[in-house]
Structure 1
């Protein structure tokens, strides 16, 4: 059985295409099409809901339902205000970081096609030390080379247009993946690879497996809330990213002790079901898969919280990928952590397969 997963060249091609696709919260269609086109080769059925969450299903006739999940959306900006001299001010779509915006290239998505621009910023020569200004949502602006508001409008740009960064995926030092959208398209890649492994190894599941790529996580876990009610699963294993706290200016006493390259992160929080978490931990230890632990206290801030408290309650757990520089255009994860997470979920699904009565017979 191929339980020692390694990323191959075909998988890298899919990963690059998926990460480079545009998927801002509320307009995830382009990225979802890429994911669906890949997934349709490995599932019995695939569909999307009203707002675009994509679901692939293996063994859809089973009354017992287990979800593995990631979220598909990336942070972005909206066009919020256009000045008479053609300067564009913005509003956040998700937790976009104003401090990294200045001097970045951008794409404004319009019905007429993409419009390219930059986040401008006054040159250092023009700023008085006694009156130094710092980037904020209220003062960062996009310049598209227009001199009037009419020029901007004639290009198809209007209030409400989505703005994304054009930065592309690359591999650094052979071990690190870098992208603007690893949060959390790397999760979408992971659950796709788990599905592929199940099919290639001919695993006969005793439950229906729902592979879910949710929308609108970055603005309030909204896609997960909707799809959980629609599917009504008993179990949900969620993937997301978490902070690598070994990078500079991060306080480990507050954020925990997590580092890229040391394996997936198993979460502890009230929304995380102890029995399911312990099965994941036991599986990792039995299969010699290195892992890390993280406490999230009151809530995880991930789709785990949405699943856990939906319907009559869903037995939920969280497996995270250590990530540096979250919500920037140079998010970084380690190849080893991605591979180990795929292996851990693959093995855990088989352990649940053996012990499915533990979960699926509870409360009917």
Structure 2
């Protein structure tokens, strides 16, 4: 197994940056999915796709016992909702978009003819009425440099076109990764990197491993629901993000005490099966991998729920990157947490066997 310093090389970091900057809004993930598949393809035996854009890269195909490691490919976005007579665009959300961060953001509008650039406008502080100072869907708008509806439509823009923020991937202080859609492109990178390491280290698994990058998580885990029916696995480990809670404005008493740089988070929750979760904790101890623990009282709000409650119940565990500023253009995670996730996934795949008994009792 490579040393931890070798898990995210300069080559990997360059690809991460391109992957994060490549837009893949919910319902239109195909460009990101193509990029991810090209990255992982040399390290797997085969792959499948479906009509909605889900991808499963497969290691050691054809075994009766099937394990999934999964992340989601999509990002939150906006839709063109209406075009005003004087040439502005009103928006509708897809996923958990936050109107509060929109003013002054640059955007790309995904039209059938290609990208059209625009900006979220906002009245200057000198002239806007204070009661209307809080951005929400009723008062935010996009300016594409036009004076009329006809001019906007002449650019190829129509109602229903998707809109994503334009921003760059950055590294702060060598260890902090910053950008749009780290939720959940970092998860997509992590599961693909596991495939690389399994191939590199010539690991032979006694089961078929499906490495799944699913679509439409941000609107209710829809892609995962499709893939669980397609694969029908015996076990799943889902990778997503969770809130890093030691930032101003958050309460660790309410949200739990989760820090950046202290390791991946293993969640306890009703959908999370205790046996694969315990296996992950044991592997972390055995290999001195830093982890943190979190508790969620009901469903996790991730694709883990879709796997856990499908097909009569699939034993499912959840690994989460701590993330600052979720659903903004400056989502932030830490190198240590990404690397600990990859290490934990890599080693845990070698502990799972077809003989593993997931029953609590018989």
The Cα shift of 1:128 comes to 3.6
- Report SS of the residue matched to 2:284: helix
Runs of 4+ with >4 A deviation? 360-363
Task: Output aligned runs, 1:68-217, within 5 Å.
Answer: 68-129=69-130, 131-217=131-217
| Correspondence for 2:338 | 338
| Correspondence for 1:36 | 37
Alignment check: 8 A CA contact 1:21 1:30 kept: yes
Alignment check: 8 A CA contact 1:25 1:219 kept: yes
Structure 1: gaps (5+ residues): none
Between 344-353 and 92-101, report the one with greater CA deviation. 344-353
CA distance 1:316–1:186, shift in 2 (3 Å): same
How far apart, CA to CA, are the structure 1 residues paired with 2:275 and 2:60? 24
Between 10-19 and 152-161, report the one with greater CA deviation. 10-19
What count of residue pairs does the alignment treat as equivalent?
360
How far apart, CA to CA, are the structure 2 residues paired with 1:119 and 1:216? 25
CA distance 1:361–1:128, shift in 2 (3 Å): closer
Structure 2: gaps (5+ residues): none
The Cα shift of 1:3 comes to 6.2
The Cα shift of 1:133 comes to 2.8
CA deviations 1:67-104 (Å, max 9, x no partner) are: 00000000000000111001100000110110000110
Alignment check: 8 A CA contact 1:107 1:117 kept: yes
How far apart, CA to CA, are the structure 2 residues paired with 1:3 and 1:279? 22
How far apart, CA to CA, are the structure 2 residues paired with 1:31 and 1:39? 12
Alignment check: 8 A CA contact 2:46 2:58 kept: yes
User: TM-score under structure 2 normalisation?
Assistant: 0.97
CA distance 1:29–1:207, shift in 2 (3 Å): same
Alignment check: 8 A CA contact 2:315 2:358 kept: no
CA distance 1:183–1:113, shift in 2 (3 Å): same
| Correspondence for 1:296 | 296
Alignment check: 8 A CA contact 1:3 1:343 kept: no
| Correspondence for 2:23 | 22
CA deviations 1:43-68 (Å, max 9, x no partner) are: 10012111001110001111110000
The Cα shift of 1:115 comes to 1.0
Alignment check: 8 A CA contact 1:258 1:292 kept: yes
Alignment check: 8 A CA contact 2:275 2:358 kept: no
CA distance 1:296–1:360, shift in 2 (3 Å): closer
How far apart, CA to CA, are the structure 2 residues paired with 1:283 and 1:107? 43
- Report SS of the residue matched to 2:305: helix
| Correspondence for 1:250 | 250
Taking only aligned residues, the RMSD between alpha carbons, in angstroms, comes to 1.4
Alignment check: 8 A CA contact 1:283 1:344 kept: yes
User: TM-score under structure 1 normalisation?
Assistant: 0.96
| Correspondence for 1:321 | 321
CA deviations 1:116-165 (Å, max 9, x no partner) are: 11111111111244x44310011100011100000000100010001001
Alignment check: 8 A CA contact 1:53 1:215 kept: yes
Alignment check: 8 A CA contact 1:23 1:30 kept: yes
The Cα shift of 1:359 comes to 3.8
